[in-house]
Amino acid sequence: MKESESLSSENIEKISEYLVEKSEFTFSCPYCGGVLHIKETYYSIPYLGRILIVSKKCSKCGYKHNDIIPLQKKQHVRIYIRVEKDEDKYIKVIRSNTASIEIPEIGFSIHPGTQASMFITNIEGLLFRLQEAINRMKILEDDKKITINLLNRIPKEGFTVIIEDPLGVSDVLHECLGYGKIIKEYIEGSDN
């Protein structure tokens, strides 16, 4: 599925094949005190293993938040993806909420914060997500001199995306292993 495609009913049916358990309850909204509806859904999904999807929505103020939480810890992993051709930008990656991302050729790195979320995207989508993060930082800065355009700084000869995940959940989808140069390095003895 491409980054821009929405979930079709066929894809939703495929996802429901992996459903393990589902529960719903209400709580008090931390922002307005209204009724916060919470849905927790447990899945066992190929590539990801066991995950919990938590959806929260307040019926009063409209607050909503979704989280994908991996429930299985794997071995600490560092993934190197060398992107040299346009088709390499279609390599699909899973980035967990504990993974950091670095593109050394342009001196860029991003580390997970408290609101980091897990996602599945391709390299092109990852670049756009990183640019959006830069744009959000620009809004938060008082000094408006920050005008970094990540996409214009990428060298024509290619770049490397490094994803490091202490929980080992981040991965490259197996059907993408024929693209580009991908190295997965497992790190022994790291404390998580």
Q: Domain residue spans in the chain?
A: 9-70, 77-186
Q: How does strand 92-95 pair with strand 171-172? A: antiparallel
Report how far residue 151's alpha carbon sits from residue 106's, in angstroms, rounded to the nearest whole number.
10
Report how far residue 51's alpha carbon sits from residue 64's, in angstroms, rounded to the nearest whole number.
20
pLDDT computed for residue 160 by the predictor: 94
Predicted confidence (pLDDT) per residue in 87-104, tens digit? 888 888 889 888 999 999
pLDDT computed for residue 23 by the predictor: 95
CATH superfamily, with its number, for domain 77-186: ZPR1, A/B domain (2.60.120.1040)
CA 145 to chain centre: 28
Q: Give the pair of three-digit tokens for residue 133.
A: 């993060």
The answer as to CATH 2.20.25 being correct for domain 9-70 is: yes
Predicted confidence (pLDDT) per residue in 46-83, tens digit? 777 888 989 999 999 999 988 888 888 889 999 999 99
Among 147, 124, 126, residue whose Cα is nearest residue 135: 147
Find the mean pLDDT for residues 150-159: 80
Q: Look up the pTM and report it.
A: 0.72
Predicted confidence (pLDDT) per residue in 117-134, tens digit? 888 889 999 888 888 877
